[in-house]
Amino acid sequence: MAKLKLTKQELKNQRDALQRFLRFLPTLELKKDLLVKEIRVVEDTLAARDADETRVRQGLAPWLKLFSEPVGLEDAVRLREIRTSEGNIAGVRIPVFDAADFAVADYDLFSTPLWLDAAVAVVQELGTLEAQRAVLRRQRVLLQHELQITIQRINLFEKVKIPECKENIRRIQIYLGDQQANAVARGKIAKLKLADAQIGSFV
C-alpha cells in the first residue's frame, strides 16, 4: 500500500473516494437483492420442472413395461438441438430457453406397435423438460457466481475501503490541525521576538 500523503490535496482525494464508495454501496446492495430474488425464481422454476417430470413419469407407470419391447424407440426420436436466446438480469448475461428440437425418424406404422406414437411424444416431453432444466441450472450457476462477486465487493467497500478512507481522513485532519497549531505558535513566538527586539532597540 502506498504511503499516505498528509496534504490538503490528499484529504480532498480521500473525501472524494469516500463519497464514491458511499454512492456505489446502495447500488451494489440493490444488485445483491435482485440476484437473490432471481436465483429464487430460477430455483422455483427448476422445482416446477422437476414436478412436471415426476407427473409425466407417473403417467407412464401403467405402460412402462412396453418400453422394454425392442421396437427401436431410441432410434425413433432423439434430441437434435436446444435453442436459447440471451437474457440479461442485473448485468448478467444468461441463456433463456426457447425450444428443444427433436429429430423424429420415419417408421412404418404397420410394423410398429400402436403405442410408439405416444411413446415418441412422451420422450419429446421428457427431453424438453430436461433441456429446460439444463438451461435453468446454467442460469443459476451464472447468477450465483455474480452474487458471490457482488457480495465480495460489498464486503470490500463496507469492511475495507470505507473504514480505510475514514481513517485516512482522520489522520490527515489531525496532522493538518497540528501543523496549523504549530504555525500559530511559531507566529506568536516570532511576534514576541520581534516585540522584544523592538523594545531592546529603544533601551
**Residue with cell string 448478467:** 92
In a domain, 176, yes or no: no
Residue 108 scores a pLDDT above 70: no
**Residue with cell string 415426476:** 54
Could you list the residue range(s) of the whole structural domain that residue 145 is in? 27-157
What does the pLDDT look like over 160-184, one tens digit per residue?
999 999 999 999 998 888 888 777 7
Tally of domains within the chain: 1
In a domain, 166, yes or no: no
In a domain, 196, yes or no: no
In a domain, 189, yes or no: no
Centre a 10 Å sphere on the Cβ of residue 89 and count the other Cβ atoms it contains. 20
Question: How large is the average pLDDT for residues 91-109?
Answer: 88
In a domain, 128, yes or no: yes
* Per-range mean pLDDT, top range of 36-40, 107-111, 116-120: 36-40
Confidence of residue 20 (pLDDT cuts 50, 70, 90): very high
Centre a 10 Å sphere on the Cβ of residue 34 and count the other Cβ atoms it contains. 17
CA separation, residue 138 to residues 42, 83, 152, 168 (Å): 10, 14, 21, 43
Confidence of residue 4 (pLDDT cuts 50, 70, 90): confident
